[in-house]
Structure 1
């Protein structure tokens, strides 16, 4: 009897040993997958292995690039440069463009851009494209997708090597609010149909704006938001959030971080795809109830980014307004909405 008990104990110990070996093998294999530079699911996320993957992403080529030594005791003191959830806020003077480009250039990244030139807004497209060629991700692969109901009026525009322009026809509308609201749907569809496998990042920008200075690799991130220039000094009680509880874009009093622009946002494809898909779904749910959020897709975007914090926030330098006087903390204007007569360009005004 004791001999059988001894044999049972031995078999049990062997079984436990095999389980231990299997556990080590599985966990090591999983860690190797997480740390793989080809694993898109672990880049720019909060998953395990992020630090290793992130370091790989920011690895600089071995060369003799010289740049000023970074400091953690000197820098911008007139603005906040990090959010409470530790996302960087990008201002002039908070990054080294030469260093950033030396990191990203060898990666041969591709950036997609969406711009909507519907109705009379087609008049702004030429200036947008010309200034983008001077300032937006210069030296990188860029593909601009123009959505318009007037494809014959898209200017014949020659872009630099590695940069291209595609025109996608969309129906016109008698209400500018409907044009604005459909953008999320069209962005979602573009990512699904064209961009996966062809682009790394996407930025969605307003056509009635122009570039004044560099917009480059400092703006790259998972989910990237731009702080609205009209409200960045205000208390959040003054933010024009959707305040009606019936809307999916509802923001209660006393909540919210910043007020973000609907006219400039972006990030990695998977992050922007989820944003666009969610905002579209919420907009359609509102429409079934006969509700239209206060500022259409911008209201839904702000709701989404309150719940899903952006991993990088761009200062108002990245979408200023030409009619506004520059405040002292705005050292440079990179992208800005042009002065216009809304009554003359919006179909229902």
Structure 2
């Protein structure tokens, strides 16, 4: 394989942080070589699981999600799409690539509010990681159905544990992050702590690490529920608490979770969105 030699004295990007204080890479456009990574991951012969939750009202979202994933997600690699739903008849038929399969995981009926669904998914992912995912896939990518792949999202995101920077907060100081600040909650993070603010709509890693993360978050939410308190941003608050004390081995830049509405607001305010975001890989569709 022929490619340009990396230059030790020349950083890949000078405008953004590309490595955390605990030496985890932050994945931006221009910081990796897709061909090299695909070659290395092909040696692992890995299968990637992509989990998503579906309710009756979200059928159209799932169709967009899966069609865009077929175009851009882990191209050239084996993928299992795991669809958690209480309405399997609403999963659309899709003619997918060779080496991929759609697996419907029928679960108990969801609750009335999206907060309930988001909190239940930690329990479901934890349970299925222990029961079957560890036998079927090497990595899990846990995603929200309200998004669309718009550009390449490949093996550069994979590691033992990864989180994704929230577009709205990546420019801010940690004192401005919407962490859970009430000490009564298991998601509590003190004012003087915190690395980044991670979005709950995209996280993952190896199956054992995802199992540990989701199990810990679910158990923490159950403690909160018993104490009649709910974290400010539900499972996302607990995810941030977990990733603060269990550092991710990779961090995805906001390229991997963009919001067109926020982009328009920033454009109106004169904020140069493209100064850091060179390539939009996923966008929310809500």
Within 1, Cα distance between the matches of 2:256 and 2:88?
28
| Matches for 1:151-166 after TM superposition, within 5 Å | 151-166=88-103
Q: Which 4+ residue blocks in structure 1 deviate beyond 3 angstroms?
A: none
**Equivalent pair of 1:122/1:148 in contact (CA under 8 Å):** no
RMSD across aligned C-alpha pairs, in angstroms?
A: 1.0
Deviation per CA, 1:79-126: give whole Å up to 9, x if none.
010001111001000000011111111321000111011241222000
In 2: Cα distance, 1:124 partner to 1:71 partner: 43
Task: Check conservation: 1:142, 1:162, Cα contact below 8 A.
Answer: yes
CA contact 2:59–2:92 (8 Å) conserved in 1: no
SS in 1 for 2:135: coil
Q: Which moved more, 1:131-140 or 1:149-158?
A: 149-158
TM-score normalised over the length of structure 1 = 0.77
CA distance in 1, matches of 2:136, 2:64: 26
Unaligned runs of 5+ in 1: 1-64, 341-349
How far, CA to CA, are the matches of 1:122 and 1:189 in structure 2? Answer: 24
Matched, 1:254 2:254: no
Which has the higher relative contact order, 1 or 2, with Cα contacts under 8 A spaced 6 or more apart?
2
Contact 1:83/1:89 (<8 A) preserved: yes
Deviations 1:58-87 (A, max 9, x none): xxxxxxx11111112222100010001111
Whose Rg is larger? 1
Q: How does 1:249-288 map to 2 (within 5 A)?
A: 249-288=187-226
Q: Which residue is equivalent to 2:146?
A: 208
**Superposed counterparts of 1:55-66, under 5 Å:** 65-66=1-2
Q: Counterpart of 1:336? A: 283
Residue in structure 1 matched with residue 268 of structure 2 by the alignment: none
Tell whether 2:262 aligns with 1:315: no
Partner residue of 2:137?
A: 199
The answer to whether the aligner puts 1:234 opposite 2:234 as a matched pair is no
CA distance in 1, matches of 2:215, 2:23: 26
> Match of 1:129?
66
Native 8 Å contact 1:118 1:179 kept in 2? no
Q: Is the 8 A contact 2:149 2:282 kept in 1?
A: yes
User: d(CA) in 1 for partners of 2:101 and 2:9?
Assistant: 43
Where structure 2 has 5 or more consecutive residues not aligned to the other structure, the ranges are 264-272
Q: Distance in 1 between matches of 2:282 and 2:244?
A: 24
CA contact (8 A) 1:237 1:254 kept: yes
